[in-house]
Amino acid sequence: MRAMATTEHGWTILDADAGVLTYTYKFSGAGTSNAFTARLASGGLMVISPPLGIGREVAEDLAAYGAVEALVANNGFHYLGIARWRELFPAARCFAAAGARARIAKRSRDTGELEPLEALAPLLAEGVAVVESPSSKCGETWARASIAGGHAWYGSDLFANMPELPRNFVVRQLFKWTKSAPGYALFNLAHKIVLKDRKATLRALLEDVRRWPPTVMVPAHGDVVRGAAVAQDTERLLVAAIG
């Protein structure tokens, strides 16, 4: 499969016309996470899971695709970069689901006020959605955007695609026992932390996947998944877990 184009400072371009890009950033030592952008109705951009510890030049790469007007914490754990992005884009509005807002308010003085997802919805471009999990402990969400040939998804902490198991023995065993890695999988270990009623969430997720089949899946952690089999593989994972 042909390699995807990137910007000068490392954003992977999934669909330039739709303003859909992703960026992998480091956190907590060896950990990595993915950001995701999509278009607003204004022509500006929404950035989900804003990257932590970036230089101004990384954020400025996005100017070619639209002004950054919205920042989104996809759950109560992915907020560490918001303070930096507020500095870079002081006019941008910041959003999170209710559970995420509650958790972040207890743990961060730097993130600032977060508006509810209900306030974000009318700002999104046609074909773009940020969906709150129906049963989450910390405001877990997923997102999707229409792109040429299909739909790009941000799977948040519901999916993972880690090419290998973590090196730390304890963490490695947890990933093995929960079948969260290696390869494209449901992030079952994270589900135990972020979800209340797992099957309720996965049923809602399956309905969305069938209605808007992904041709690209960007998990919060791991490599981007793309190609003709993404929708089928995603549906298979969900059906197997729901039972």
Residue 138, domain member (yes or no) = yes
Under a CB-based contact definition with an 8 Å cutoff, are residues 99 and 138 in contact? yes
pLDDT at 30 over 80: no
147 Cβ neighbours under 8 A, 6+ residues apart = 14, 15, 18, 20, 215, 216
What's the pLDDT score for residue 66?
Answer: 98
What's the pLDDT score for residue 212?
Answer: 98
Confidence of residue 171 (pLDDT cuts 50, 70, 90): confident
Dump pLDDT digits (tens) for 55-103.
999 999 999 999 999 999 999 999 999 999 999 999 999 999 999 999 9
H or E segment and range at residue 236? helix 230-242
- Give the strand order in the sheet containing 31-39: 12-15, 20-27, 31-39, 45-48, 68-73, 93-96
Residue 6, domain member (yes or no) = no
What's the pLDDT score for residue 242?
Answer: 96
Residue 7, domain member (yes or no) = no
Question: Token pair for residue 14?
Answer: 């999934």
When pLDDT is averaged across residues 150-179 and rounded to a whole number, the result is: 92
Residue 5, domain member (yes or no) = no
What's the pLDDT score for residue 169?
Answer: 85
| Per-chain mean pLDDT for the chain | 95
- % of the chain with per-residue pLDDT over 90: 88
Collapsing DSSP to helix, strand or coil, 136 comes out as: strand
What's the pLDDT score for residue 175?
Answer: 85
User: CATH no. for residue 83?
Assistant: 3.60.15.10
Residue 4, domain member (yes or no) = no
Q: State which residues form the domain around 203.
A: 12-242
Confidence of residue 28 (pLDDT cuts 50, 70, 90): confident
Dump pLDDT digits (tens) for 190-232.
999 999 999 999 999 999 999 999 999 999 999 999 998 999 9
pLDDT at 29 over 80: no
Residue 2, domain member (yes or no) = no
Residue 157's nearest CA partner among 198, 119, 120 is 198
pLDDT at 187 over 90: yes
| Count of domains observed in the chain | 1
pLDDT at 31 over 90: no
Residue 28, domain member (yes or no) = yes
Residue 181, amino acid: A
Question: Which region among 26-30, 105-109, 146-150, 169-173 has the lowest average model confidence (pLDDT)?
Answer: 26-30
